[in-house]
Structures are given as structure tokens and as C-alpha cells.
């Protein structure tokens, strides 16, 4: 059968077929060019994109170093925190089974079955955002099926154990153990140890370059945690893994680099003494405030150190904060509360508060006056209750007469050098610091022909550790101010006046110092002129227990050996100090230091600390010290209307060291608005020293067989 309806001739023309073939050929050529463009010309780009697709870098968190006190008591450590996580890919296929898991899980954690919706306006933030389990699981399914998504954070250990057991029946749900920082001593050592916080966007690049992960790893925000961040944090490890499109890890693409754990730090602190010092300080402040019936003393500091080595044994800064509250996440309301507090609890005031030094500064004046032979130790000077002095801004300025009073209404009468220190006579030190016959004016016998002057006073103060950073390992450290004419010109736009010199001589006026600087000035005297490097670090060990750094006492300088005293061509202030520098440098004669030690001893035996230390003699150890009552008028006092001329409020200072012959403990105490130094700060110092010797006795008994 031959279909007749079909013509038996091929009427399709060649040109129609060829034109079709040409079109197809052109298109195929375009494809080949396109392939060449992608695979050969731009191959590298796409190879890079393919690598980016399949390789993922995983940073392995290092263990942060532990911080101990000098006896091995833990001050900062890492503890486990438990999170409930979901791995969406491991959930059962059956929706009903998933619902059952969600409902059973909700019974154990504080996350409801369903709440809110994850939308750009209400995004999912692990541990923070408020979403239900269903929403979080849905989020996990959609965005990270093979990764752990946190459902509940920081659940307690008992619940964690239950969920750990139950998770066998709940495929996809598991328990994640995260380490968080824990501070067993909490607020007791918070101002030294500090706390951790998230990596801020400003520092993100720095830390991510070093392998840290910005929303996982935390960095030190304060204290040693911040100062020794790089030592404590260790080095993150790295895994480069091949992942599939779902994010599931297939294999390690390169050998794993293990994280390097952080190093452990042993501080010089003695937690027991720290504890004692804190309770003594709080007890004293609380006692006075209760006695006065008002919240008068608002902050305070105690520092105890070994003056021969520079080791800080205790450092209390009140008020402080509870660093454990910042361990997992910094609570906004708590941080804002601390931040808004005018007493500045976040600041370690022991090293960071710049305060008027008051009479404790007289040690610097005394040192200079003896060494520069302004007075002799035996020279007796008349000290009336007040003196009228001309306050001159230039050498030829006749000056306005101004009254400078002593702290004791009836005056001290005749005082020699030891008497001047032990009684802390202002008039005595006005004359040492600024006195000369001409400047003292009428009515006052010119017993001090040429006073120390601001320039020489400054160099002796600096020799005792004032006016510059001491280099302690705490980030809050401040340098304080030792004023001179140039500083005043810049800071106040005014000439230096003779009156400025008088009040600087007694530690008032522009002088500010940190409690640590004031302690160092006394420690230097106690240590026969050797200024030790103050430190809170005793030892640094790596994770294997090998010592990386071991503490050795370090002398910053010895004022009786190292020429640290600048010699000025003339003691007056006119023209500024720098112009009068001769370039020559001298030392302090050892007998001068001895004389000041004797003066400080007299403070305790017959001077301003006599009453406070009366009971101290019972333990058979000789102490020496100095008190300070630093008048101040800062913003807060002014707001309270306390700045009444002639009767300013005052901070209480006391410093002391013991034993007198071979000092092993030096303590400074400071009470903000504490009033008289001896009666407020004095007992704090005495009791802290007592506590030190008690602990020493306990330790020595403990070592007996």
C-alpha cells in the first residue's frame, strides 16, 4: 500500500534547510564563545566562587586563662553554661512528631511553644530575641538546617541534665555547653580583675583578623581582663571544612590548627587581706555615715603593698560592681546604672582617681626642703595659727595679702623638722615650700631665708612617684598633676602666684594624685629611697603550667643613688621652671630619707596618728605614717553647697607602714568627703596593717610542723 495522497517528490528547497542550519550554527558558536568566556577567560573568578561555596572556616575558641591570687585562690575562671539548641536537619520528618517535641521541650525551658514571628522588624537574635520554639525551629529549618540554633540559653544544670537525657527521644534537640567567665570573688576583686564584653564593631576587624568571632568570643573591658587580654585570650584555632549546600560538614579541607589556650595569671593579691581591707573600709565608711546620720562618705580606697617589692597585696576601690552580672551578657540597665552613678563604680579609683593629696604630700615638700638645705632638721620655726602672705603673680607685683591658716586653731608654736611632720603643721610647710623673707612679708620672722619653690618641689614630688604613670598593669591608671607655672598657663591661662606655691607645699591647690601614687611616695621613703615598680602580677604560666613570666622586684629608681632630682638655677617661679633647668641632676642624701622616716615614726608615736595607733603598740610592731586632710571643692561638693570658703569639705587620707625598721607592709586609705584624715582613714590603715600581721601569723603557724 502506497499512500497516494503524498506527493512523491521532495519539494523542500536546500536554501531553507541551509538557512536553518546557519541560524543553529551561529547560536552554537555563540554558546562556544560564551563557554570560553566563562570557563577560560573568567575561570579563576568562578573557581574562587566555587571554593567560597564549599569551604568554610571555623574558628575554634581558645580557653581563656585563669586568674589566681598569690595563694592560688581563683579570681577568674571559666564555667560551663548550658544552652538548648536545635539542628533542624535532624528533626523527625513527621510534623506531628516535631510538634510533640516542641510541646515537651516547652515544659522544661522558659520559651513558649509559639510567640512572635521572625520578620526583619523582629529578627531572631540568639539568647536575646523573644520568639517561641516553633518560630526558632522554623528559622533553623529555613536558614541553617545543619547548624545549631539556640532555643534557650543558660538553663540551670538540673534542667540541663534532664534535657540531656530527654534529647535521646528528641531528635534534633541537643544541649550545647558553652564556657562563660565566672568570678568566684565577684565584687571583692572586680575593680582589679574587670569583666568581659562583646567585641565592639570598632574593634571587630582587629579581632576577626586574629581569628576571633565577634558574636562568640568576648574581650576584656576592664581591669586585668582588659590589660592582659592578649595573654589571657590565647589564640583561636582554625578548621577549614568542606560543606555541602545545607551547611553539613563533609571533611576537613586542611589539617586542623588547634586553639592555643590563654595563659594563667597569678596576681600578687592576697584575697584574705583584700577581704579584710574591704570589710574594714566598708565598716568604717558605714560606721561614720551612720554616726553622722547622712551619706557623707561616698567612696573610698585601701591599697596595701609590700614596699620592698612593689607587690600589691590588696586594692579595694569602693563603690565597685559585681562582675559576675556581666559574665554572660552585660545587662543594659545594670551597666547604665553603673555608668550614671556619679561615684563612678566602674573606675578603679585606687589607680584611676586623681584626688587632692592634702598633707600626705608634705612628705615631698619635706624631702626637698631637707635635701636642698632649705631648713636643717634641728632648725626651729615659729608656727603661728595663721600667716598673712602676699599673693604675688609677678616678681614686682606688690601682691594682695592673703591669710593662710593652720589646721589647729591655736597653732603649734615652735616646731623643728620632726615636729613639723608629726603635727603636719601647714604653716611650717608653707614656709618650707614658699617662704622667703621678702615673700613672707610683715609680722613673720624670716626664719626660712629661701623656700623650696614650685620648681624644686615638683622635681622632688616626681622623684617620689607623683605626676606620672607608675606603670601598674591596670588600664584605669591616671597620672595626676604636679603643677608648675607652665601647666597653670596652659590649664588656667594665668600666671603662677606665690600663693599657689604655698598651698602646693601642703598638697592643696592644683596638686592631684592617685591613691597608688600617694602610697608609692610613702613606700619609697619606707624603702630607704627605692621606688619599686608597683605590680599586681606575680607569675604568668602557660596552660601546661610552665612559667612564662615570674615576678622579680624591680627598682624603678633609688632616689639616694639615681640622680633623679633636677637642679634649677633659681628657686623662684617667674619665667617657668623649664627655663631654669641646669641639666644637672642630683641624688637625695640617705640621711634626708632617714629624717623623714623619723618624722613619720613621730606621727604615730606623738603626732596626728598617735591616738589611732595607740592600740597598735600592743602587737609589738613599730609603725610609721602620715595623715592627710585634703580640702576639695569639686562639682559634686559644689552642687551640694558644701564649698563654703574657709570651711571646705575634705577627703581623709592616711598612709602608714610597718615594721618601721624593716617595712613589709605599706597601706594607704582614702575616704571621699571623709573629713579629718587621722580619725576616718587612720583606723582603716591601722586595722588593715593589723589584719596583715594576723594573716602572717596564721601562715607561719600553718607552716610549722
Min separation Cβ 275 and other proteins, Å: 55
> Which is nearest to 458 in space by CA: 370, 358, 583, 365?
365
Nearer Cβ to other proteins (37/339): 37
Q: Quick one: 15 or 618, whose CB is closer to other proteins? A: 15
CB of 86 to other proteins, least distance (A): 20
Query: Is 254 a binder of other proteins (CB under 8 A)?
Result: no
Stretch that binds other proteins, among 22-30, 170-178, 475-483, 532-540 (CB under 8 A): 22-30
Q: C-alpha distances in angstroms, 567 versus 449, 571, 623? A: 19, 9, 33
Q: Binding to other proteins by residue 92, rule CB under 8 A?
A: no
The answer to whether 332 contacts other proteins (rule: CB under 8 A) is no
Asked if 35 interacts with other proteins (CB under 8 A), we say yes
Q: Does residue 1 touch other proteins according to CB under 8 A?
A: yes
Residue 459 to residue 322: CA distance in whole angstroms: 40
Question: Directed axis angle between helix 362-371 and helix 453-463, to 10°?
Answer: 110
Per CB under 8 A, the list member of 13, 95, 635, 662 interacting with other proteins is 13
Q: Locate all alpha helices (DSSP H) within 357-465, ordered by sequence.
A: 362-371, 417-423, 426-434, 437-440, 453-463
With contact defined as beta carbons under 8 Å apart, do 249 and 243 qualify?
yes
Backbone angles phi and psi of 90, in degrees to 5: -90, 0
198 Rama sector, left if φ>0, alpha if ψ -120 to 50, beta otherwise: beta
- CB of 32 vs other proteins, minimal distance in Å: 6
Asked whether the beta carbons of 185 and 269 are under 8 A apart, the reply is no
Contact between residue 658 and residue 621 where contact means Cβ atoms under 8 Å apart: yes
Rounded to an integer, what distance in angstroms lies between the CA atom of residue 174 and that of residue 614? 66
- What's the closest the beta carbon of residue 348 comes to other proteins, in angstroms? 47
CA–CA separation, 346 and 344 (whole Å)? 5
Residue given cell 591599697 in the structure block: 303
- The correct pick among 38, 206, 469, 591 for binding other proteins (CB under 8 A) is 38
Rounded to whole angstroms, the Cα distance separating 425 from 433 reads 12
Q: Does 21 bind other proteins (CB under 8 A)?
A: yes
By CB under 8 A, tell whether 340 contacts other proteins: no
- Interaction of residue 42 with other proteins, rule CB under 8 A: yes
Smallest distance from other proteins to CB 155, Å = 32
Residue 253 Cβ vs other proteins, minimum distance, rounded to whole Å? 11
Classify residue 680 by its DSSP letter: I
Among positions 39, 161, 336, 614, the unique one binding other proteins when judged by CB under 8 A: 39
Please tell me the distance from the alpha carbon of residue 482 to that of residue 455, in angstroms, as a whole number. Answer: 10
- Which segment (38-46, 324-332, 507-515, 566-574) binds other proteins by CB under 8 A? 38-46
If binding is defined by CB under 8 A, does position 119 make contact with other proteins?
Answer: no
Min dist CB 102 to other proteins, Å, is 25
Rounded-to-integer distance, Cα 77 and Cα 68, Å: 9
d(Cα 688, Cα 202) in Å, to the nearest integer?
43
Region near other proteins per CB under 8 A, out of 50-58, 226-234, 293-301, 345-353: 50-58
**Closer residue to other proteins (CB): 51 or 342:** 51
The verdict on 376 binding other proteins (CB under 8 A) reads: no
| Residue 437 burial (C-beta neighbours within 10 Å; 0-12, 13-18, 19+) | middle
Residue selected from 9, 332, 442, 635 as contacting other proteins according to rule CB under 8 A: 9
Between 22 and 698, name the residue whose CB sits nearer to other proteins: 22
Name the minimum Å distance from CB 130 to other proteins: 26
54 binds other proteins (CB under 8 A): yes
Please give the residues from 218 up to 247 whose contact with other proteins meets the rule CB under 8 A.
242-246
Among the listed ranges 11-19, 171-179, 484-492, 550-558, the one in contact with other proteins (CB under 8 A) is 11-19
Choice between 28 and 591, CB closer to other proteins = 28
Other C-beta atoms lying within 10 Å of the C-beta of residue 685: 33
| Cβ count within 10 A of residue 237 | 16
Binding flag, residue 28, other proteins (CB under 8 A): yes
CA pair distance 256, 254, nearest whole angstrom? 6
Q: How far apart are CA 81 and CA 160, in angstroms?
A: 9
Per CB under 8 A, 403 contacts other proteins:
no
Task: Give how many residues touch other proteins by CB under 8 A.
Answer: 46
Alpha helices in 400-537 (DSSP H): 417-423, 426-434, 437-440, 453-463, 485-492, 498-505, 515-526
Cell of 268: 600578687
Residue 561 found at the interface with other proteins (CB under 8 A): no
Compute the least distance from the CB of residue 245 to other proteins, in Å.
4
Query: Which residues contact other proteins (rule: CB under 8 A)?
Result: 1-3, 5-14, 16-17, 20-21, 24-25, 27-28, 30-32, 34-36, 38-40, 42-43, 45-47, 49-51, 53-54, 242-246, 250
Amino acid at each position: 500500500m502506497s499512500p497516494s495522497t503524498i506527493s512523491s517528490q521532495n519539494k523542500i528547497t536546500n536554501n531553507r534547510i541551509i538557512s536553518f542550519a546557519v541560524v543553529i550554527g551561529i547560536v552554537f558558536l555563540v554558546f562556544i564563545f560564551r563557554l570560553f568566556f566563562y570557563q577560560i577567560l573568567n575561570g579563576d573568578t568562578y573557581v574562587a566562587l566555587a571554593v567560597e561555596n564549599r569551604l568554610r572556616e571555623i574558628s575554634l575558641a581558645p580557653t581563656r586563662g585563669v586568674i589566681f591570687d598569690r595563694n592560688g585562690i581563683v579570681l577568674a575562671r571559666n564555667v560551663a553554661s548550658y544552652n538548648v539548641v536545635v539542628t533542624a536537619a535532624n528533626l523527625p520528618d513527621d510534623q506531628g512528631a516535631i510538634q510533640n517535641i516542641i510541646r515537651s521541650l516547652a515544659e522544661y525551658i522558659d520559651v513558649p511553644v509559639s510567640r512572635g514571628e521572625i520578620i526583619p522588624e523582629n529578627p531572631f537574635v540568639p539568647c536575646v530575641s523573644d520568639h517561641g520554639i516553633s518560630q526558632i525551629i522554623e528559622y533553623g529549618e529555613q536558614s541553617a538546617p545543619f547548624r545549631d540554633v539556640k532555643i534557650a540559653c543558660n538553663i540551670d544544670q538540673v534542667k540541663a541534665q534532664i534535657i540531656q537525657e530527654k534529647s535521646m527521644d528528641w531528635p534534633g534537640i541537643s544541649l550545647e555547653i558553652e564556657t562563660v567567665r565566672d568570678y568566684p570573688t565577684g565584687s571583692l576583686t572586680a575593680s582589679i580583675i574587670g569583666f568581659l564584653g562583646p567585641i565592639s564593631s570598632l574593634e571587630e576587624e582587629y579581632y576577626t583578623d586574629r581569628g576571633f568571632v565577634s558574636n562568640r568570643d568576648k574581650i576584656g573591658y576592664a581591669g586585668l581582663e582588659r590589660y592582659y587580654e592578649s595573654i589571657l585570650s590565647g589564640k583561636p584555632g582554625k578548621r577549614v571544612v568542606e560543606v555541602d549546600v545545607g551547611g553539613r560538614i563533609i571533611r576537613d579541607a586542611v589539617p586542623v590548627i588547634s586553639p592555643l589556650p590563654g595563659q594563667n595569671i597569678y596576681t600578687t593579691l592576697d584575697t584574705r587581706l583584700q577581704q579584710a581591707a574591704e570589710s574594714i573600709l566598708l565598716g568604717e565608711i558605714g560606721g561614720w555615715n551612720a554616726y553622722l546620720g547622712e551619706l557623707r562618705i561616698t567612696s573610698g580606697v585601701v591599697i596595701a603593698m609590700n614596699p620592698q617589692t612593689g607587690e600589691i597585696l590588696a586594692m579595694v576601690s569602693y563603690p565597685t560592681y559585681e562582675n559576675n552580672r556581666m559574665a554572660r551578657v552585660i545587662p543594659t540597665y545594670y551597666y547604665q546604672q553603673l555608668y550614671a552613678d556619679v561615684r563612678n563604680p566602674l573606675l578603679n579609683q585606687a589607680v584611676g582617681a586623681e584626688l587632692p593629696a592634702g598633707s600626705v604630700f608634705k612628705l615631698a615638700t619635706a624631702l626637698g626642703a631637707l635635701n636642698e638645705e632649705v631648713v636643717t632638721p634641728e632648725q626651729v620655726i615659729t608656727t603661728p595659727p595663721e600667716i598673712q602672705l602676699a599673693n604675688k603673680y609677678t616678681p614686682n607685683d606688690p601682691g594682695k595679702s592673703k591669710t593662710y591658716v593652720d589646721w589647729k586653731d591655736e597653732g603649734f608654736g615652735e616646731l623643728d623638722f620632726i615636729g613639723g611632720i608629726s603635727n603636719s603643721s601647714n604653716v611650717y610647710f608653707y614656709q618650707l615650700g614658699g617662704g622667703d623673707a621678702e615673700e613672707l612679708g610683715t609680722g613673720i620672722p624670716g626664719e626660712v631665708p629661701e623656700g623650696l619653690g614650685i620648681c624644686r618641689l615638683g622635681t622632688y614630688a616626681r622623684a617620689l612617684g607623683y605626676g606620672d604613670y607608675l606603670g601598674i598593669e591596670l588600664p584605669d591608671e591616671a597620672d595626676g598633676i604636679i603643677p608648675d607655672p607652665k601647666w597653670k598657663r596652659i590649664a588656667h591661662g594665668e600666671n603662677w602666684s606665690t600663693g599657689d606655691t604655698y598651698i602646693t607645699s601642703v598638697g592643696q591647690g592644683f596638686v592631684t594624685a592617685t591613691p597608688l601614687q600617694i602610697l608609692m611616695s610613702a613606700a619609697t621613703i619606707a624603702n630607704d629611697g627605692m621606688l619599686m615598680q608597683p605590680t599586681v602580677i606575680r607569675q604568668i604560666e602557660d596552660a601546661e603550667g610552665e612559667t612564662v613570666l615570674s615576678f622579680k622586684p624591680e627598682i624603678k629608681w633609688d632616689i639616694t643613688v639615681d640622680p633623679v632630682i633636677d637642679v634649677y638655677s633659681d628657686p623662684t617661679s617667674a619665667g617657668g621652671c623649664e627655663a631654669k633647668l641646669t641639666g644637672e641632676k642630683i641624688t637625695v642624701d640617705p640621711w634626708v630619707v632617714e629624717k623623714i622616716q623619723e618624722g613619720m615614726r613621730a606621727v604615730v608615736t606623738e603626732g596626728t596618728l598617735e591616738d589611732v595607733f595607740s592600740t597598735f603598740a600592743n602587737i609589738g610592731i613599730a609603725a610609721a605614717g602620715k595623715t592627710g586632710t585634703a580640702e576639695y571643692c569639686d562639682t559634686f561638693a559644689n552642687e551640694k553647697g558644701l564649698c563654703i570658703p574657709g570651711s571646705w569639705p575634705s577627703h581623709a587620707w592616711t598612709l602608714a607602714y610597718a615594721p618601721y625598721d624593716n617595712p613589709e607592709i605599706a597601706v594607704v586609705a582614702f575616704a571621699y568627703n571623709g573629713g579629718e584624715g587621722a580619725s576616718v582613714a587612720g583606723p582603716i590603715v591601722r586595722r588593715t596593717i593589723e589584719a596583715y600581721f594576723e594573716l602572717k601569723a596564721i601562715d607561719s603557724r600553718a607552716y610549722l610542723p
